[in-house]
Amino acid sequence: MNILQIISGGISAYKAVDITSNLVKKNHNVKIILTKNATKFITELTFQTISKNKVYTDTFEEINETEIQHIDLVKWADKIIIAPATANIIAKIANGIADDLSSSLMLAVKDFSKVYIAPAMNTAMYENPITQSNIFKLKQLGFNFIEPDSGLLACGDVGKGKLPSSEDILSAVLNNNLLAGKKVLVTAGSTKEYIDPVRYISNPSSGKMGIAIAEEFAKNGADVSLITSADYISEMKNITVIPIISAHDMFVAVKKEFEDADIIIKAAAVSDYKPIITYDKKVKKQVGNIEIELERTEDILYYLGQRKKENQFLIGFAAETNDIINYAKEKIKKKNLDYIIANDVSKKEIGFGSDNNEVYIIDKYNNINKIDKTSKRNIAKQIVNMFL
């Protein structure tokens, strides 16, 4: 495969060498563009030695007089990787600025889906609404984005903005269509069972785990239906968000989507009980106690387990506070699951609403794989990897 690698001027430019090296080892033909600022961090000779190709730095340095450099490089490339991608180069691409070779070249790209952008910058710069608006605009146009990692940054800050690992970048670029044609159903977040117009029974689930799973499946080419109560707008064209509020809403939506799904992942924290009576006006404070009678909600996972077809995979979640493994094993049999993912929600650093988690993945044969504390995004990647 012909791969054009663009390196912009960030401190993580040196990490791009490993990307080039791995691509060459996989027998890909790699050509490199270094921006002017990138040459202040790393030299042309390094990439030329590894890629065995001329390194491009200047729009007006035509190596072959019969070619127009920034046009022919686009035609030559099967895929284009921009890593690291600074806030500057992202802004240029989003706004059609063409003041150097890399930005001029991007205006000649017709198929945006062959471009993979790996942002790397300070957290404040990444989270700045201008940068996020530029990223959103490019995603809507069909550009692929590889999420930056979180951790200690070069400036000393801790947060999101690290260049993703070479492994993650290569996986996104080379394997992103492995699940093309697969239909995936994911549920995420809590449900709300209303007592009156302003009060409800619920739980603190944020939906972060389920959303991360949905996005990772989508990155690998699957068509994803995400049923969720979370306030989430998808920036990926192959994720369809189906908003719900109550457990019954989710049950109705799941039944509608279930038949066509190849993989079903029930990551939502669904209410087990709901009030028998829902008042249409706010219940007023009164002397003494009041009683609210509850009834069971539909057991969505059990319903799916009883109707699962041979070619479908059904994965449940077990959010427990004690005896996690035993409860999970009991649930996997009772609900007829292929896998269950169990975690301890009593731990604040990995419980509901956290960006991190620690889970046990258990299959129907009682094989157990523990994933130690890491980001929910990393756990989502490992879950998706089970189907690659």
Q: 208 and 66: one domain?
A: no
Question: How many Cα atoms within 13 Å fall on the side-chain side of residue 315?
Answer: 26
Q: Are residues 188 and 316 in the same domain?
A: yes
In order of 120, 129, 146, the CA distances from 152 in angstroms are 12, 22, 18
Regarding whether 258 and 375 lie in a shared domain, the answer is yes
Tell me whether residue 155 is one of the annotated catalytic residues: yes
Give the CA distances from residue 381 to residues 166, 294, 322, 342, in Å, rounded to whole numbers and listed in that order. 15, 38, 26, 16
CATH code, domain with 260 = 3.40.50.10300
What's the rounded Cα separation, in Å, for the pair 20 and 15?
A: 9
Q: Which listed residue (155, 236, 252, 294) is catalytic?
A: 155
Is the CB of residue 364 less than 8 Å from the CB of residue 339? yes
| CATH number of 56's domain | 3.40.50.1950
Strand, helix or coil for residue 127: helix
Q: What is the span of the domain harbouring residue 113? A: 2-175
DSSP string, 230-276: S-----STTEEEEE--SHHHHHHHHHHHHTT-SEEEE--B--SEEES
Tell me which of 148, 175, 202 is where a domain ends: 175
Task: State the pTM of this model.
Answer: 0.66
The pLDDT assigned to 339 comes to: 96
pLDDT score of 364? 93
Pairing of strands 356-363, 339-344: antiparallel
Which residues have C-beta within 8 Å of that of residue 225, sequence separation ≥ 6? 183, 184, 185, 186, 240, 242, 257, 261
Q: Write the DSSP symbol of residue 136.
A: H
User: What stretch of H or E contains 135?
Assistant: helix 129-141
Based on the domain organization, do 44 and 129 belong to the same domain? yes
Radius of gyration of the chain (CA): 24
Contacts of 84 (CB under 8 A, 6+ apart): 7, 8, 10, 12, 13, 15, 16, 118, 119, 120, 121, 163
- Residue 198 and residue 63 in one domain: no
**What domain count does the chain have?**
2
Q: Give, rounded to a whole angstrom, the gap between the first and last alpha carbons of the chain.
A: 21
Q: What is the distance between the alpha carbons of residues 232 and 197, in angstroms, rounded to a whole number?
A: 23
In the chain, the amino acid numbered 323 is D
Q: Are 13 and 143 contained in the same domain?
A: yes
Q: How many C-beta atoms surround the C-beta of residue 339 within 10 A?
A: 19
Residue 45's contacts (CB-CB under 8 Å, 6 or more residues apart) are: none
At 352 the three-state DSSP class reads coil
Do residues 159 and 264 both lie within one domain?
no
Beta bridge partners of 317: 341
Q: Which of 257, 342, 260 is nearest to 300 (CA)?
A: 257
The letter for the amino acid at 107 is: L
Dist CA 370 CA 364 (whole Å): 15
Distances (CA, A) of 74 to 63, 98, 100, 124, 308: 15, 15, 15, 32, 46
Q: What is the pLDDT of residue 349?
A: 80
Q: Report mean pLDDT in 10-residue bins for the chain, 388 residues.
A: 91 90 92 92 90 82 61 88 94 94 90 89 91 90 85 73 86 80 96 96 94 91 95 87 98 96 97 96 91 96 96 94 92 96 85 88 92 89 88
Other C-beta atoms closer than 10 Å to the C-beta of 108 total 14
Residues 161 and 209 in one domain: no
139 and 80 in one domain? yes
**Same-domain status, 135 and 210:** no
Residues 78 and 199 in one domain: no
- With tokens 């492995």, the residue in question is 178
The widest CA-to-CA distance across the chain, in whole angstroms, is 91
Same domain (yes/no): 211, 133: no
Single residue among 126, 153, 175 that ends a domain in this structure: 175
pLDDT on residue 65: 58
Give the pLDDT confidence score for residue 19 in this predicted structure: 92
